[in-house]
Structure 1
Amino acid sequence: MWTMEELVDRVRAALAAEYSGAPNGRVRDLPDRRSIRWYSTIGLVDRPLGTRGRNALYGPRHLLQLVAIKRLQAAGRTLAEIQAELAGAPEEVLTEVARVPADLLSGDPSPAPEATTRPPFWKAAPAAPAVDWAFPTDTDISFGTPDVPPPPADPGVSPAPGTDAVLTGVPLGLGVILLVPGALHGHLDRAELVTAARPLLDLLASRGLTDRRDQ
Structure 2
Amino acid sequence: MQCHYRGVWTLDELLERVSAALTAEYSGAPNGRVRDVPDRRAVRWYATTGLVDRPSAMSGRTALYERRHLLQLVAVKRLQSEGRALAEIQAELAGATDKKLAAIAKVPGRLLESGERPPEAVRPRFWAEPVAAPAKTRPPEAAPLNGVALGGGAVVLVPGTPAAADLADIAAAAQPLLDLLAARGLLNEREQS
Output the TM-score relative to the length of structure 1. 0.52
1:32 paired with 2:39, answer yes
Q: Which residue of 2 aligns with 1:100?
A: 107
User: Alignment length, in residue pairs?
Assistant: 121
Runs (4+) of structure 1 moved beyond 6 Å? none
Does 2:74 match 1:73? Answer: no
The share of aligned pairs that are identical, in percent, is: 62
Which residue of structure 2 aligns with residue 143 of structure 1? none
Match of 1:186 in 2: none
- Provide structure 2 residue ranges, at least 5 long, that are not aligned to the other structure: 1-7, 129-193
Q: CA deviation at 1:92?
A: 1.0
Structure 2 residue matching 1:37: 3-state secondary structure: helix
- Aligned pair 1:22/2:29, yes or no? yes
Of 6, 19, 33, which aligns to 1:12? 19
Letter in 2 for 1:46: D
| Secondary structure of 2:117 counterpart | coil
Distance (whole Å) between structure 2 residues aligned to residue 109 and residue 11 of structure 1: 19
Q: For residue 25 of structure 2, what is the amino acid of its counterpart?
A: E
Match for 2:79: what amino acid?
Answer: L
Tell me if the contact between 2:60 and 2:122 (Cα under 8 Å) persists in the aligned partners: no
The CA deviation string for residues 14-63 of structure 1, in whole angstroms up to 9 with x for no partner, is 01111100000000011111111111112111111112232111111000
Q: 1:41 aligns with which of 9, 23, 48?
A: 48
Instruction: Tell me the CA shift for residue 117 of structure 1.
Output: 5.3
Aligned residues of 2:57 and 2:65 also touching (Cα < 8 A): yes
Partner of 2:145: none
Q: Which of 46, 52, 59 in structure 1 is aligned with 2:59?
A: 52
The one-letter code of the counterpart of 1:24 is N
Shift of 1:116: 6.5
Q: Give the aligned residue type for 2:50.
A: G
- 1:83 counterpart letter in structure 2: Q
Give the root-mean-square deviation of aligned CA atoms. Answer: 2.2
Task: Mark the runs of 5 or more structure 1 residues left unpaired by the alignment.
Answer: 122-215
More displaced stretch, 38-47 vs 70-79: 38-47
